[in-house]
Amino acid sequence: MHRMRWPAVFAVTALVLAACGGGQDAGETTTPETSSPTTTAPATTTTLSATTTSVAEGTLEGVELKLWGWSSSDAENQALSDLVAAFNDETGASAEFQPQAEYDATLQAALAAGDPPDVFYVDSFKLPDLASAGVLAPIPDGAIEDPDDIYPSLRDAFTYEGTWYCPPKDFSTLALVYDPDALDAAGVAVPTTWEELAAAAEALTTGSVEEIAAGTAQAGLTMGVEYPRWGVFLFQNGVALTDDAVTQVTLDNDQARQALQFVADLYQSGSAVKPQAVDAGWAGEAFGQGKAAMTIEGNWIVGYLKDVFPDRNFAVAELPVGPAGPGTFAFTVCYAVSVDAPNPEASWALINYLTNREGSLAWTSAFNVMPARESVAADWLAPRPELKPFLDGAAYAHRWALKPGAGDLIGVFNEQAEALVAGDVTVDELIDEVTAAGEDVLG
C-alpha cells in the first residue's frame, strides 16, 4: 500500500532543501542546485574498532550491501568508502558505497519498485514525508549502540509520530562567522545580542550595495533571504514558524513581528545584504570575497573558505541571542533502512558500525561536519577548537523538519521575505500570506 503514495513523496521543492554535514543540501537556497559547498581536503585515516552486536558473529560473511547517498566531493566519497571497506574487513561482508548523481529521483524509483538499496541517506526535512509514506523501517531495539549518547535534538530530527527511524551520520548548525581584522579595525566587539548585532553591522558597513558589489566597500553582514536563516531569529524570540505539531502557522503574534522586523531592518538599513545583491552565489562566497565582515552560516563554510579563499581570515562565535535566548538550526542526515530491505539485520549492522562512537569520530575527523554523539565531542574538537561555537549549538538547536507537503509553505515564506527586504510588503502582510498558505498546506 505504501508504494501507491510515492508519486507525492518527493514533491518537496528545491526551496526547502538544507545542508547537513558534507551532504547534498545547504540550507542555502541560492547555491547552485541547492548543494552545500564541500571541502576538498584529503580524508584523514582513522582505524575503526566498531562492533556489530545486532548480528550474530559470522553471519555477515559474504553478505552484499549497497549504501546509497548523494554524490559529494571526491574526498568525502572516498572517506565513506574507506569506512565501509573497514566494515567489510572486520565482518567479512561485501558492502559498497554507491553515490547517486540524481539521488532523489533514483531513490524514489527504487523504493517505489520495492527494490531499495540496503542503506540510504535521508535528510531530516524529508524524514516526515518518507515515514508517513510507510517506506522506512523503524530502528529495531538494540540495533544502535548507546542511543542516549546521540544529541537529543538529533534523535528528535529523525523521530516521526513517536517512532525513531534512523540515526544521524553527522550534523551542522548555524553560527556567526566574522572577520576579526575588520572588527578590530572598527573597534567593534563580537556581537552577542540582537542589539549588538545591529550596531556591529552598521559600524562595519563602509559603502553602498553598488560599491560592495564592485569590491570597494563591505557590508556589515551578508545572509540569505530565506527561512533556513531567518528562522533562527524566530527561535531566539520564543516563537517558530509553526506549532510543535505542525498543524498551523504561528506567526500572528508580537514576538514573530518583532523578530521579522528586526531582520528586515538589517537589510533595509543597508547594514546587511543578500549575497545575490553583491554578485555572489551564496553568503559564504560573499564573505570569502571580502564583501561582508560577518555572515550567518553553517560549519560547511569552514572547509569552503580554507579551500577557495585560503587567505581570508575568519573566526566563529555562537549566534547572538535574542530576547528569549539562543536558537539555531540543526541540519542533519541519517542512514535509513527500507521496509523492503532484503537483509535488514545486516543493514542495521552496517549503520551501527558507521554511527557508533568509533565510526562517528572516524567519519567526522575527515571533515568539518560534527559528530552526532556527545561522547566524542572533546576528541573531535581537540584539533579544531575554533569550531566549538558550531558544536555548542547542538544544545539548543531546532530540527530542520516540518511535515509532509510543507515545502510549499517554506517557498511562500521565502517569496514574502524577498518582498519584505525589497520594501514591497510589510511584516503584517508577510504574516498574512504565510498564514494563509499554512491553512492550505497544513490544514
54/45 Cα distance (integer angstroms): 26
**Domain around 232:** 174-325+403-442
Q: Is residue 2 part of a domain?
A: no
> What's the whole-model pTM score?
0.87
Residue 116 maps to a domain: yes
Structural domain contains residue 290: yes
411 and 300 housed in the same domain: yes
Residues 237 and 258 in one domain: yes
**146 and 423 Cβ atoms separated by less than 8 Å:** no
Same domain, 183 and 314: yes
Same-domain pairing of 428 and 320: yes
Q: Are residues 91 and 167 in the same domain?
A: yes
In a domain, 3, yes or no: no
Do 255 and 300 share a domain, yes or no? yes
Does residue 1 belong to any structural domain of this protein?
no
Are 198 and 88 found together in one domain? no
Mark whether 126 and 30 lie in a shared domain: yes
Look at residue 255 and tell me if it is in a domain.
yes
Overall number of domains in the chain: 2
Are 277 and 345 in a shared domain?
no
Closest CA to 113 of 340, 356, 405, 357: 340
Clarify whether residues 181 and 152 are in a common domain: no
pLDDT in tens, 195-231: 999 999 999 999 999 999 999 999 999 999 999 999 9
pLDDT of residue 2: 31
Rounded Cα distance between 189 and 3, Å, is 55
Question: How much is the pLDDT for 58?
Answer: 55
Cell triple for residue 198?
Answer: 545591529
CATH code, domain carrying 123: 3.40.190.10
| 244 and 95 assigned to the same domain | no
Distance of CA 230 to the CA centre of its chain: 14
Question: What cell does 21 get?
Answer: 554535514
For residue 365, give the 3-state DSSP assignment.
Answer: coil
**Cβ–Cβ < 8 Å for 21, 171:** yes
Predicted local confidence at residue 74, as pLDDT: 86
Q: What pLDDT does residue 76 have?
A: 87
Mean pLDDT by 10 residues, the chain (443 residues): 33 35 38 31 37 56 96 87 96 97 94 96 94 96 97 94 97 98 98 98 97 97 98 98 93 98 97 97 98 97 95 98 98 97 96 97 89 97 95 94 84 97 98 96 84
Question: CB neighbours of 210 closer than 8 A, spacing ≥ 6?
Answer: none
Is 9 domain-assigned?
Answer: no
| Same domain for 382 and 319 | no
Is position 166 within any domain?
A: yes
